[in-house]
Amino acid sequence: MKKILILNGSPSGNKGNCALWIKAIEPFFKGQGSVDVVHLAKTSYGPALRKKIENSSGVIFVTGTYWDSWGSPLQKLLEDMTDLEASVALMGKPCAVFVLMHSVGGKSVLSRLQGVLSTMGFLIPPMSGMVYSLVSDIALKSKSTHAKDFWQKEDVELILENFLKACDLKINWSTWPVDKKDPKRQWLK
């Protein structure tokens, strides 16, 4: 049985749009695996969260868009979990990314976040990320003939299908050497 870890990177924690998005996608995994949701606004990186990341079959990242970036709790996690870069805990571990936004900036956040996650060692399956916006939500209610050009809530199913397929992959990935002694040490003298 797959162990799915969902990390909510929103400063709003278990309240707000990201929390509602997570509640909407959780039922998709019924019968396909267990789901553990962590709201990073209320949980700091330490041995318990590290173990959840290590033991997961795959990780789903959910964040809003805040001044052209992801949420500060997610940024803090990425900084704190640098010691996991290129480790067996992350190498080839599938991830999916959902970015919410009001009107602009989300696609840049999605692309940059997937780039960071890939560099850390996560596997980015095809079509495993999307941006959903207030603007799209409003536009899709008009039944426009352009609707297929917008990411839609229905696209979540395809993304999660690809994510779950990637969770079944078992590949012995190669890694570049990473300084594991002290990634936070001062180098400027």
Indicate whether 186 belongs to any domain.
Answer: no
Classify 121 in phi/psi space as left (phi over 0), alpha (psi -120 to 50) or beta.
left
Query: Where residue 45 sits, what CATH number does that domain have?
Result: 3.40.50.360
44-54 pLDDT per residue, tens: 999 999 999 99
Amino acid in the structure at residue 132: Y
Domain count, the chain: 1
Indicate whether 35 belongs to any domain.
Answer: yes
Indicate whether 134 belongs to any domain.
Answer: yes
The answer to whether 86 and 121 have CB atoms below 8 angstroms apart is: yes
Residues 38-45 have a mean pLDDT of 96
Q: Which residues pair with 129 in a beta bridge?
A: 97
Pairing of strands 33-39, 95-101: unpaired
Least Cα distance to 35 among 102, 96, 105 occurs for 96
**Domain range holding 93?**
2-167
pTM of the model: 0.94
Indicate whether 121 belongs to any domain.
Answer: yes
64-74 pLDDT per residue, tens: 999 999 999 99
Amino acid in the structure at residue 134: L
Indicate whether 189 belongs to any domain.
Answer: no
Indicate whether 66 belongs to any domain.
Answer: yes
Indicate whether 21 belongs to any domain.
Answer: yes
